[in-house]
Amino acid sequence: MLLINNFNQCVAFNNVHNKNSSHHHHHYHREKAFDGTANNVLSLVLPHDTYPGYSIKKFTANFTSPDSPYSSLTSYASKPINYRLLETGFSKYFTVLEDGMVMTTSDLTPLVNRPVHLVVLEETPLSTTTHHLQLHIMDRKDMLRFPGAILETVGEVMENLKRGAKVKNVPLLQANSIKPSKEIIYKIVSGNDNKAFALQNSKTNEISEEIKIKDTKNVGVWLVTNKPLDREVKSEYNLVIEGSDDERINKVDAKITVHILDDNDNRPLFIESQYRFVVVGKKSVDADGNTTVTYERFTKIGKVQAKDADGDKVAYKLTSPSNYVIIVPQTGELVLAGEPEKHELLLEVEAHDLRTPSLTSEHPTKVLIEFAPPEVAAITVQHLAHEEQHPHHRRQKRSTTRAIRPSKLIDFDEVDGDVEGFNLFRLEKQNERETFELRDDNPWVSIEPNGDVCVKKKWNVSELGAMKTIDFWVIISSQGHNESDLNKQSKERRDS
């Protein structure tokens, strides 16, 4: 048991043994740091049957303080120190050892309900410190205790419940003693981050951080929520609940661990709002020289992905059935199911978590699939900065002939983007008449008509998103020809 004095200092009083009793486990106590400055006052409670030779408190000199005369010494052997117990009328019952340990030396029964004041003198060649130890000796039957099952309890409560929800598996908290107390005060003294929990009077249903009970035999307190809790913010609380008399001398603590249970309150969220994939066909020539392009069934097109903040597994499905594309529910993989009739196909995919009840993504993701002839290499685009920054841009049919050249994926170190105007690489020309320009303005790179790709603004890796890529489309024009190529370049930044 601990008595907190006016200096707000206390020490742990653990495992007080009675050679004729097995009830010492009822006394679990908090411990705070002891300040080793002069004139310290420590207060604590001891049961009357504490055996002789019990260690009460060990005083330790503060050699690490900058003001200490020994702060620069490295050997503890070179720091002479002596402890003495000054005579205050209680030397018959207590002593202090050379190492600063205060111990009992006799039966404490004669001291029951008497204030005991001990003074320990700490002496070194250059300093003297006085420590005051205030003891209160109580008859064990008068000391408060919680039932043994409550001392260390594990409870649980569902997240998002309104204020006043009881924590499951935590029994009614009711401190008691053989000699009834006039009033018991209950309070959460540790671990209650952001005031997540409170106590509830079992009779009046009053909810507060501190509850006073006068009918101590019949009334106790419940541990309840003080507000809706969020498991994603904090999933476990380690609380210490104190019961004390009205003088705050006779105290007992209970440790309670509370697990916050998951409520399915987060919908899956797609990593990208739009995806674009290209499927390359196979060309075949018949006996008459006619050329046809076909697309192999079960070709893997690409993959969409969604995350669930609750950590649940996610499944995928098309919002509308398709004769041409299927999706693997467990992985989000898109697979070609039949020969396409158009050059482009626009689909929507939704995600849902595997819980009961299940939650579906608030918005489906859009998937654009392009079917290209075999001269065009496959282009897989799963992260387009342009789509994130300009979601209102849509594809439009052009009157000119358009072809898509293979995409480029080039790795760069972050330092490569430090100098504005630095020439990163040059795009290859298929003929000397070709010129290059960006389809859309890009904050990070610029392109010269000859195909030189340069640093436009110093790269900031924190602004490039999770994929750390710079994506852009290049329009390639051939002078004197009614033709333009749309070439997608992807530059990936790699942290050096």
CATH hierarchy code of domain 146-261: 2.60.40.60
Q: Could you give the CA distance from residue 114 to residue 45 in angstroms, rounded to a whole number?
A: 11
The one-letter amino acid code at 224 reads V
CATH hierarchy code of domain 24-141: 2.60.40.60
pLDDT for 239 equals 95
pLDDT for 265 equals 78
pLDDT for 463 equals 80
C-beta of residue 95 within 8 angstroms of C-beta of residue 105: yes
pLDDT for 317 equals 94
For 48, how many CA atoms within 13 A lie in the half-sphere containing its CB?
12
**How confident is the prediction along the chain (496 residues), in pLDDT tens digits per residue?**
333 233 233 333 333 333 333 333 333 333 333 333 445 567 788 888 889 999 998 888 765 455 554 444 444 444 568 899 999 888 889 999 988 899 999 999 999 888 899 999 998 888 888 889 889 888 888 888 887 656 678 999 999 999 999 999 999 999 887 777 778 999 999 999 999 999 999 999 999 999 999 988 889 999 999 999 998 899 999 999 999 988 888 888 999 999 998 887 789 999 998 999 999 888 888 877 788 888 988 999 999 999 998 788 999 999 998 999 999 999 999 999 988 988 899 999 999 998 878 889 989 999 999 988 875 443 333 334 334 444 444 444 333 445 566 667 787 788 888 888 898 888 888 888 889 898 888 888 999 999 899 999 888 887 876 667 788 888 888 764 444 455 545 444 444 3
Q: Could you give the CA distance from residue 339 to residue 448 in angstroms, rounded to a whole number?
A: 40
Both tokens assigned to 290: 């006619």
CATH hierarchy code of domain 384-496: 2.60.40.60
pLDDT for 80 equals 63
pTM of the model: 0.49
pLDDT for 456 equals 92
Domain ranges (residues) in the chain: 24-141, 146-261, 265-382, 384-496
pLDDT for 5 equals 30
CATH class of 265-382: mainly beta
Instruction: Indicate if 265-382 has the same CATH topology as 24-141.
Output: yes
Sort residue 8 into left (φ over 0), alpha (ψ -120 to 50) or beta: left
The 10 Å Cβ neighbour count of residue 60 is: 12
Both tokens assigned to 26: 């009822």
